[in-house]
Amino acid sequence: MATIEFDPQPLQAYAALEKAGSGQLLDAIDDALDGLEADPGSATASRRSFGDGLWGIPVRDRTGDWLIIWEHDPATADLVVIRYLGADPFA
């Protein structure tokens, strides 16, 4: 099991979704984060590879396609850092 931390940008994006009341999208993001926390090595958590240890999880709801980009913290084996949370530019 991994610990998840957010960089400032994805944390702000998550907070903005909470404030806007984007329930379905938040539920989908929370499900993806729960899966990442449970098993960062799973196929679901690493659907996209961006190289240099960056991985992506696409998240979809009725309003659009979002993307979570994450990586393992090089100093701590069980720490995952969310580097990006936002609209999926590749969708």
Q: What is the pLDDT of residues 46-85, one digit of tens each?
A: 999 999 999 999 999 887 899 999 999 988 989 999 999 9
Q: What is the CATH number of the domain that holds 81?
A: 3.30.2310.20
Token pair of 86 as six digits: 């936002």
- DSSP count for the chain of H helices, then E strands: 2, 5
Say if pTM beats, i.e. exceeds, 0.85.
Answer: yes
Q: What is the mean pLDDT of residues 30-58?
A: 94
Mean pLDDT taken over the chain:
93
Q: Are 25 and 48 in contact (CB under 8 A)?
A: no
**Alpha-carbon distance values, 33 to 1, 37, 63, 71 (Å):** 12, 6, 19, 13
Mean pLDDT calculated for residue range 23-49 = 93
Show the domain range for 54: 3-87
Domain count within the chain: 1
Query: What is the distance between the alpha carbons of residues 31 and 77, in angstroms, rounded to a whole number?
Result: 22
- pLDDT surpassing 90 at residue 16: yes
